[in-house]
């Protein structure tokens, strides 16, 4: 019986289990899409709890599949739930959930990598970046194949305050392979410290919440899965454009096991490379004999700030591409070899 003056908490009516939905619609996880179903509603409830208070919140679930996490989100008392599902086979089962929660669920058959998230929620939910996070959450059990490109895309959105972050500091609660989660949260000196660690930690507080053993999924993946929570920071730790930070960080980690100056060298054209590398390292006050995974966030900030000044002095520097230079060299070498071979053949023929 509801308490007088209070709205009764929403609960889904009795429904077929997730396993029964899978059988009913003859759903089968597709290996090429790296799909794995989570059927245990205790675990889906636990994932949803990591997102925080969802009562009356607006939530976007990425890749709901057969709807296990979807049920836990609805039972948390959300105001609106947007489901973005790429695989059309799951739509009928999700429609069944939508009918069980009238007016609460909107289903989009589409790709999260191309969906316009800036239109996903009502405008009245917008908050200033410096304010408390809006009542908006992104939750998802991501396919392994899409998890890294998707989080990089959303980190860029955070940096530019667009996409789902046009509403403010929208929080994300997502699943990753355990190894990827360890990279996201790795500290300086840790063996999992990587480009992903810097790109995520300079924009968010990254929390590795808990690990789900692989055997909890159907079919069982070869790895365990971790749940990671991302509340965006008010101020990024490196206050430079996303593209510049990514270029510096990617270059540093290009030669992960070598001294960091080896990766820094790839920021500069061959002509004057050594001199400019020394200038950057000295001005940034970074020890060139440190390994990339040993560098702290403040050292990356110093490298990015110094590189920005060098780019301001020489705008052509930022568009320089080390890999493209290597490709052009290889192309020229091949061209020279191909033009010299016929001459040798003719000489041999004359002899």
- The tally of domains found in the chain comes to 2
Q: Is 113 annotated as a binding residue?
A: no
| Unique residue bearing structure tokens 């046009």 | 166
Q: Are residues 209 and 327 in the same domain?
A: no
| Unique residue bearing structure tokens 């709807």 | 67
- pLDDT of 225: 97
| Unique residue bearing structure tokens 């053993």 | 213
Predicted structure pTM score: 0.89
- pLDDT of 153: 97
- pLDDT of 249: 98
Q: Are residues 100 and 224 in the same domain?
A: yes
Q: Are residues 64 and 169 in the same domain?
A: yes
Other CB atoms within 10 Å distance of the CB of residue 6? 7
Q: How far is CA 190 from CA 92, 152, 184, 235, 264, in A?
A: 45, 21, 11, 25, 20
Q: Are residues 31 and 161 in the same domain?
A: yes
Q: Is 63 annotated as a binding residue?
A: yes
Q: What parts of the chain have a pLDDT lower than 50?
A: 1-3, 5, 344-351
Distance CA 160, CA 150 (A): 15
Q: Are residues 207 and 260 in the same domain?
A: no
Q: Are residues 156 and 32 in the same domain?
A: yes
Q: Given 177, 207, 230, which residue is the final one in a domain?
A: 230
Distance CA 283, CA 275 (A): 12
Is 165 within 8 Å of 46 (Cβ atoms)? no
- pLDDT of 345: 44
Q: Which domain holds residue 325?
A: 242-336
| Unique residue bearing structure tokens 């995520």 | 200
- Evaluate whether residue 345 is within a structural domain: no
Is 169 within 8 Å of 231 (Cβ atoms)? yes
Report DSSP state, residue 162.
Answer: -
Q: Is 265 annotated as a binding residue?
A: no
- DSSP string for 27-74: ----GGGT--EE--HHHHHHHHHHT---TT-EEEEE--TTSHHHHHHH
Q: Are residues 200 and 273 in the same domain?
A: no
Query: Checking DSSP bridges between strand 80-85 and strand 136-140, what pairing results, if any?
Result: unpaired
Q: Are residues 158 and 304 in the same domain?
A: no
- pLDDT of 16: 77
- Evaluate whether residue 93 is within a structural domain: yes
The pair of structure tokens assigned to 267 is 């920021």
Q: How far is CA 68 from CA 21, 41, 108, 160, 251, in A?
A: 10, 6, 17, 33, 40
Distance CA 188, CA 177 (A): 21
Own/partner long-range contacts of 90-93 (Cβ < 8 Å, ≥24 apart):
90/25, 90/27, 90/64, 90/65, 90/66, 92/25, 93/21, 93/24, 93/25, 93/27, 93/66, 93/67
Model pLDDT for residues 149-184, shown as the tens digit of each residue: 999 999 999 999 999 999 999 999 999 999 999 999
Distance CA 111, CA 62 (A): 9
- Evaluate whether residue 64 is within a structural domain: yes
Q: Are residues 110 and 186 in the same domain?
A: yes
The CATH number linked to 328 is 1.10.8.100
The pair of structure tokens assigned to 306 is 């110094």
- pLDDT of 8: 59
Q: Is 348 annotated as a binding residue?
A: no
- pLDDT of 349: 45
Model pLDDT for residues 259-315, shown as the tens digit of each residue: 999 999 999 999 999 999 999 999 999 999 999 999 999 999 999 999 999 999 999
The pair of structure tokens assigned to 148 is 């890294």
Distance CA 249, CA 263 (A): 9
Q: Are residues 131 and 216 in the same domain?
A: yes
Distance CA 200, CA 236 (A): 10
The CATH number linked to 115 is 3.40.50.150
């Amino acid at each position: 019986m509801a308490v007088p003056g209070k709205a009764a908490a929403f609960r889904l009516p009795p429904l077929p289990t997730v396993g029964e939905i899978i059988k009913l619609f003859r759903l089968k996880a597709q290996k090429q899409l790296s799909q794995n179903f989570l059927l245990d509603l205790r675990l889906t409830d636990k994932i949803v709890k990591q997102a925080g208070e969802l009562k009356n919140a607006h939530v976007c679930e990425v890749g709901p599949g057969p709807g296990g996490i979807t049920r836990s989100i609805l039972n948390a008392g959300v105001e609106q739930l947007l489901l973005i599902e790429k695989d059309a086979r799951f739509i009928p089962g999700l429609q069944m959930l939508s009918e069980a929660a009238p007016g609460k669920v909107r289903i989009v058959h589409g790709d999260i990598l191309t969906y316009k998230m800036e239109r996903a929620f009502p405008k009245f939910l917008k908050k200033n970046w410096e304010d408390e996070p809006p009542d908006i959450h992104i939750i998802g059990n991501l396919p392994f194949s899409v998890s890294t490109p998707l989080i990089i895309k959303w980190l860029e959105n955070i940096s530019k305050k667009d996409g789902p972050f046009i509403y403010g500091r929208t929080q994300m609660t997502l699943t990753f392979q355990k190894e990827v989660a360890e990279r996201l949260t790795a500290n300086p000196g840790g063996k999992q410290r990587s480009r992903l660690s810097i790109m995520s930690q300079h924009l968010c507080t990254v929390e590795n919440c808990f690990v789900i053993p692989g055997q909890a999924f159907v079919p069982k993946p070869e790895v365990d899965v971790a749940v990671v929570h991302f509340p965006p920071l008010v101020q990024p730790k490196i206050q430079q454009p996303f593209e510049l930070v990514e270029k510096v960080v990617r270059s540093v980690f290009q030669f992960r096991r070598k001294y960091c100056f080896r990766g820094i060298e790839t920021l500069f054209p061959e002509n004057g490379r050594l001199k400019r590398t020394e200038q950057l390292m000295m001005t940034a006050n970074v020890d060139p004999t440190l390994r990339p995974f040993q560098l702290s966030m403040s050292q990356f900030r110093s490298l990015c700030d110094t590189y920005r000044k060098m780019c301001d002095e020489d705008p052509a520097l930022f568009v320089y591409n080390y890999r493209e230079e290597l490709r052009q060299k290889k192309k020229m070498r091949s061209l020279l070899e191909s033009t010299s071979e016929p001459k040798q053949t003719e000489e041999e023929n004359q002899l």
